[in-house]
Amino acid sequence: MTEQEIIEGCRRGDAVAQRELYVRYGPAMFAVCCRYVADRSVAEDLLHDGFITLYTKIGDFRGEGSFEGWCRRIFVTTALGYLRKRNPLAFSDPLEDARSLSVEGGDALERMSGQELLHCIEALPEGYRTILNLYAVEGYSHKEIGQMLGVSENTSRSQYSRARSRLMEMIRDRNRIKLKDKS
């Protein structure tokens, strides 16, 4: 089935088209969910909820932009709804505190595999991981992130800065362990 046939079939409630949509986009949308929550069973629940929303709102897709991008937005929104209920930004720090942290170790990042980097990102606290994903992966501005999460633009900036610092620290630590193991 073509993407357009899948969309039209889903608009009609065709179970075959819905299954094809799930098979085609499920893995990518599961990866989106996993970027926001570290617990795979919660990510599976979010995937399920996201597809329910996708099936019910597919009539709203106007064909402007990519369909996959439109789908991704639904899954990001679903994950954010879950995180908002858990209030992951309750530990927010002022921007001034985040500025004092150093970010170094670019060459350490180059020695890491993609899978190792994903493990480090998954290990970040939810608030940090959420902001990092929205800003660095999804491309939202800090103003947009603040509006989505109900926090100030400065809180978004602060959390992003702290997330980057924590991530770089984790990367440096992993590389120190690797180098020590090679000795």
pLDDT score, position 10? 95
Among 7-11, 29-33, 118-122, 131-135, the minimum mean pLDDT is found in: 118-122
pLDDT score, position 32? 92
Mean pLDDT, the chain, integer? 83
pLDDT score, position 171? 83
Domains plus CATH for the chain? 3-86 (1.10.1740.10), 95-182 (1.10.10.10)
Residue 102 above 60 pLDDT? no
Distance CA 114, CA 122 (A): 12
- Could you tell me which residues come within 8 angstroms of residue 44 by beta carbon, excluding any fewer than 6 positions away? 30, 33
Among 3-12, 96-105, 165-174, the minimum mean pLDDT is found in: 96-105
pLDDT score, position 86? 78
Residue with tokens 């893995």: 27
Residue 93 above 80 pLDDT? no
Secondary structure element (H or E) that encloses residue 181, with its range: helix 153-182
Task: Please state the pTM of the whole predicted model.
Answer: 0.70
Six token digits for residue 82: 């879950």
pLDDT score, position 97? 39
* pLDDT tens by residue, 11-66: 999 999 999 999 999 999 999 999 888 889 999 999 999 999 999 999 999 988 89
Mean pLDDT across 149-156? 89
pLDDT score, position 95? 40
Mean pLDDT across 154-180? 84
Secondary structure element (H or E) that encloses residue 70, with its range: helix 67-86
Measured over the CA atoms of residue 158, residue 161, residue 163 and residue 166, the dihedral's sign is: negative
User: 79-92 burial by CB neighbour count: b if 16+ within 10 A, else e?
Assistant: bbebbeeeebbeeb
Q: Which amino acid is at 110?
A: E
More confident residue, 173 or 112: 173
Among 18-22, 27-31, 84-88, 154-158, the minimum mean pLDDT is found in: 84-88
